[in-house]
Structure 1
Amino acid sequence: MKHLLATAALVLFAGAAWAQPLTTEDLRDLDANGDGAVDAAELDSYMVEAFKTIDADGDGAISGDEGQGIMTPELFNQADKNGDGKISLEEFQAQTRADFSAADQNDDGLLN
């Protein structure tokens, strides 16, 4: 489960310019209601769990050490909007929402 969450975080968090395309299996894992598409609410719910998994010490932030192997230093710095050396849940969610919007090529609010 931890590997799956980390993989989803990496794929989605990487940003549209850097991300690998989502596979059918990725979409199936993220599609909580089984309708064949992932909406922003499903992604947000899943990514909160991914955040909790990556935040190994449970302090409410992803440190550079915790993010290592999950994201590149460039991605880490991109998400760390306030430059404090850690990614808060709010920063993580803002980045994943931006990435979702970028990946939603037809602007229908769904990834499929």
Structure 2
Amino acid sequence: MKNIQLAKLDKYKDNPNYELIDGNIYKDIEEDHYVFALSYELEGEEDSQYPLEDILDKFLLHVSNFIDEDSYYTNREVTLELGGDLDDIKETIDSIIGKRVYNEEYDDNDGVTRVKLVIA
């Protein structure tokens, strides 16, 4: 994935269920967790599952909402809302915004092919 950016969603504007915390981070009052919106482009053979699943695992986040799912099929752009702990969200934003994120295969010491998440 590339061109990773924070996204602004209209659903946060003047909505008493969302409290602005910092920048593009909101507290979802109803669900009692923090959320932010993210947009990115998929590269090459990437699908909507990977490397997203690895990002979610690494930063202890979950997808709380898919935005404009049709855009994925037409131009390979994804916008979604991620939720989790405030510190995990801040770490994610600091780590991946403006970066390229992808999975890379490698052989471990035992010769087993594994996949690692790369943030560059």
- Structure (1 or 2) with the greater strand fraction: 2
TM-score over 0.5 (shorter chain): no
Over alpha carbons, which structure has the higher Rg?
Answer: 2
Q: TM-score, with normalisation over the residues of structure 2? A: 0.25
